[in-house]
Structure 1
Amino acid sequence: MSTETIGVAPWMALPETQAVIAALEARGSPGCARFVGGCVRNTLMGKPIDDIDIATTLTPDAVIEALGQAKLRAIPTGVDHGTVTAVSNGRPYEITTLRRDVSTDGRRAVVAFTQDWSEDAQRRDFRFNALYVDIHGRLYDPTGEGVNDAREGRVVFVGDPTTRIREDSLRILRFFRFHAWYGRGDPDQEALAACKALIGLAEGLAAERVQKELLKLLAADDPRATVRLMAATGVLSRVLPSVESPARFEGLVAIETEQLFENDPELRLAALLPDDPKIAEQVAERLRLSNALKARLIAAAGASPRIVSWMSPREIRRVVYDLGLNTFSDRVKLAWAASGRSATTPQWRGLLALAETWTPPAFPLTGEEVLKAGAPKGPMVGEVMREVETWWIDQDFIEDKFSIIERLKAVVQGMAF
């Protein structure tokens, strides 16, 4: 099963990493713990490493005991499924006992622990996620194809795709997510056919799981081809029934790529939805998005005031004052993406630049000044202030306090109290 060595990668040489492996091997034996999954795959593909996951032949109780003896913190994050999180000098390591599935219902699995690395590999989703490497950099590829898949950018299920999906229907979305991040060229046709045939199984997935996979997919550098694939297979409409056309989404990704904006999965989600705050709210509730993201989607979906590339500086300031910089920026990018014009069009970039360099002033009028001008206490104070503020905005946020007070007097005199 050992095919080659990848050497000791920097993340493997970290003192924190070495301490965790040493603790496990002291309780078990040399080689009882190996790195697995994304850290191995990404090292082979030359991509950044996020999480460091470890597989072991030790039972969860033995893992907790080993970490305790080494004075490392152990968190029982998923003991029933064999997972313990070790914390070494503040860095987390997810440690999972080798497992095999006893039964599954498409969402949850009943597992039994095993000592067999090949058996553990057979229950994983994709071949390039079923790779293991020991602390010395020796690579283990139980399926025989995981290394080639990683190096060639192929997303292929372990064994039969239909069986893997029936074990956990979230793997349909995971297939597209991994293809968006790591796939090169055409997708695996057997996997694609299975995803299309079994898409109905995704109906019962927890909203939080769907949300997590969808936002991860949209965070890929260029998920356009994958989203097209999802649309063509009917998967996209199952996940987001409100999607009308991915065209604006594709335009947004092009803008981000060419203008060197950061990938913004939340705005990309907004780009897939129509400009209708009610629909944005429905999608947010369907996916159980956070209140902050829900508010952002609803604000971005607003159609008024209309955003166009030929807005004057005065109009830009007025809208930024009304919407706030973040919402204005979201709506500019969405309008730019929907315009069908080149991502390098300077007018759109100019709107953003002006907005980003302008600090909206505070309205320079107080309730006390309104009262001194003759307005009675109560709701009329707010009404007078709103009337003066509207004039102040029309005057392009005039700074002349004398003129503002004169306008205040005129408004108070003109109102019947």
Structure 2
Amino acid sequence: MTDRLPKADWTARDDLAALVAALDPDSQGNCRWVGGVVRDTILGLPAKDIDMATTLPPDETAARLSTAGIKSVPTGIAHGTVTAVLPGGPVEITTLRRDVSTDGRHATVSFSTDWRDDAARRDFTINALYADPRTLEVFDYHGGLADLAARRVRFIGDARQRIREDYLRILRYFRFQARFGSIPADTEAESAVSELAAGLKGLSRERVGWELMNLLGLPDPAPTMRRMAELGVLAQVLPETAADGLDALEALIGNEQSARADAVAIRRLAALLPADRHLAELVAARLRLSAAQRKRLATVAAPSGADGDARALAYRIGIEEARDRLLIAGRPVAALDGWQAPALPLKGGEIVARGVTAGPEVARTLRAVEDQWISEGFPDGARVSAILDQVLGHTSAPRD
């Protein structure tokens, strides 16, 4: 495993070079890239969020950025984080820290100038990698490079202590295991997460929901979800999982891969749950999902299944929701690719013009015509007019 960061598109960004020049004009080494951007670049993966660590206190960071004409936002000033707003995307810059106290959810920190202090408070060895922004030299204080090479997700120091500092690290462990890990997993980590799983109940629902959805959105979280169940973790965060939910998740992922469908976390969550709309709504509320996510989960989890024509289903419940149901049921989805639901070429006013009294009877007539139109595969307006004639019981002049 390299001790130097491979060159990547982001390492050649002019705005990042300007950022480094603003914070470290004399090349004293007071700032380094850190965490996921270093880890992913070493693995040859595209960089997402770019984070920087610095020995500068946050007020000094902000002052230097201002002097250089770089806009900054104090996004987490109490914890030492200033966000630089750059043309190529924001960069979070955080002063080196060491933990003073923790309660399993929040940490009290003090600022530091020691890189080892900062590395020691991070969760996993593969996330405690730093890189010099000018030379791209990698700094590894806890064996993270060797763990990356072995695809091993390992806590820094004592796993139980790391978890007690923040119980969300249990879910982070499984997310990283699903993304980077291998079998067999680290035995100390598995023992610790199993022993301390009950601590997840004390976390905010938003944090749990965010981690769970990010895990489910990975290419193939099924083996990891099954291991979570075996270790008693899944019961803490998703006790509503159906008896056959893990089997359904595995089958769904296979169906997605066969159909070349995108991985969708909400769809995977629906597969895990029983076909119960009310239960799905409760789960969505507890995990603090967005309004759109809640609606989609409830629709997909409803017990009406995926019988009948794919496009008819999509017309009634929505294209993406129908795709979800079809994939969960193991049915083809190709009929929905590039398809847009048409509008029924009939309005209530046209029915009234045919002599039907405005009110409930118009609505009933409209529904009857629409049902037949759907069953015939959405024919054109001429056929809809004929269907209306059939529903009204004649094909001649309007009724008096």
Give the distance between the partners of 1:401 and 1:177, measured in 2 at CA.
52
Provide the secondary structure at the position in 1 that maps to 2:39.
Answer: helix
Change (3 A) 1:176 1:71: same
Question: Counterpart in 1 of 2:73?
Answer: 75
In the alignment, is residue 361 of structure 1 matched against residue 360 of structure 2? Answer: no
Change (3 A) 1:403 1:286: same
Question: Counterpart in 1 of 2:262?
Answer: 262
TM-aligned CA deviation for residue 171 of structure 1: 0.4
2:40 to 39, 42, 45: 42
Provide the secondary structure at the position in 2 that maps to 1:5.
Answer: coil
Give the distance between the partners of 2:129 and 2:150, measured in 1 at CA.
15
Q: For 1:377-396, what aligned pairs fall within 5 Å after superposition?
A: 377-396=358-377
Provide the secondary structure at the position in 2 that maps to 1:162.
Answer: helix
Give the distance between the partners of 1:49 and 1:372, measured in 2 at CA.
62
TM-aligned CA deviation for residue 376 of structure 1: 2.3
Residues 369 and 384 in structure 2, CA contact (< 8 A), matched pair in contact too: no
Counterpart amino acid of 1:287? L
Question: Counterpart in 1 of 2:19?
Answer: 20
Change (3 A) 1:179 1:63: same
What are the superposed Cα offsets for residues 8-63 of structure 1, whole Å, 9 maximum, x if unpaired?
A: 4432221111111111103x752000011011111222222111110000000000
Counterpart amino acid of 2:264? D
Give the distance between the partners of 1:8 and 1:405, measured in 2 at CA.
67
Give the distance between the partners of 1:326 and 1:237, measured in 2 at CA.
29
Question: Counterpart in 1 of 2:351?
Answer: 370
Structure 1 unaligned residues grouped into runs of 5+: 337-347
Identity of aligned residues (%): 44
Residues 6 and 41 in structure 2, CA contact (< 8 A), matched pair in contact too: no
Provide the secondary structure at the position in 2 that maps to 1:4.
Answer: coil
Structure 1 residue runs of 4+, over 6 Å off? Answer: none
Change (3 A) 1:122 1:395: closer
State the TM-score, normalizing by the size of structure 1: 0.88
Counterpart amino acid of 2:214? K
Give the distance between the partners of 2:385 and 2:361, measured in 1 at CA.
22
Change (3 A) 1:411 1:388: farther
TM-aligned CA deviation for residue 229 of structure 1: 0.8
**Greater CA drift, 283-292 or 268-277:** 268-277
Give the distance between the partners of 1:257 and 1:196, measured in 2 at CA.
31
Residues 3 and 137 in structure 2, CA contact (< 8 A), matched pair in contact too: yes
**Greater CA drift, 387-396 or 165-174:** 387-396
Provide the secondary structure at the position in 1 that maps to 2:393.
Answer: helix
Q: Paired residues, what number?
A: 392
What are the superposed Cα offsets for residues 274-327 of structure 1, whole Å, 9 maximum, x if unpaired?
A: 1111111111011010011111111111222x435xx5xxx4443333223222
Residues 281 and 298 in structure 2, CA contact (< 8 A), matched pair in contact too: yes
Change (3 A) 1:49 1:367: same
TM-aligned CA deviation for residue 408 of structure 1: 5.1
Give the distance between the partners of 1:268 and 1:190, measured in 2 at CA.
29
Question: Counterpart in 1 of 2:387?
Answer: 404
RMSD value over aligned CA atoms?
2.3
Give the distance between the partners of 2:177 and 2:336, measured in 1 at CA.
37
Question: Counterpart in 2 of 1:252?
Answer: 252
Change (3 A) 1:44 1:361: closer
Question: Counterpart in 2 of 1:278?
Answer: 278
**Greater CA drift, 186-195 or 371-380:** 371-380
In the alignment, is residue 127 of structure 1 matched against residue 137 of structure 2? Answer: no
Change (3 A) 1:405 1:228: closer
Question: Counterpart in 1 of 2:222?
Answer: 224
Residues 373 and 412 in structure 1, CA contact (< 8 A), matched pair in contact too: no
In the alignment, is residue 319 of structure 1 matched against residue 313 of structure 2? Answer: yes
Give the distance between the partners of 2:204 and 2:31, measured in 1 at CA.
32
Question: Counterpart in 2 of 1:142?
Answer: 141
Counterpart amino acid of 1:260? R
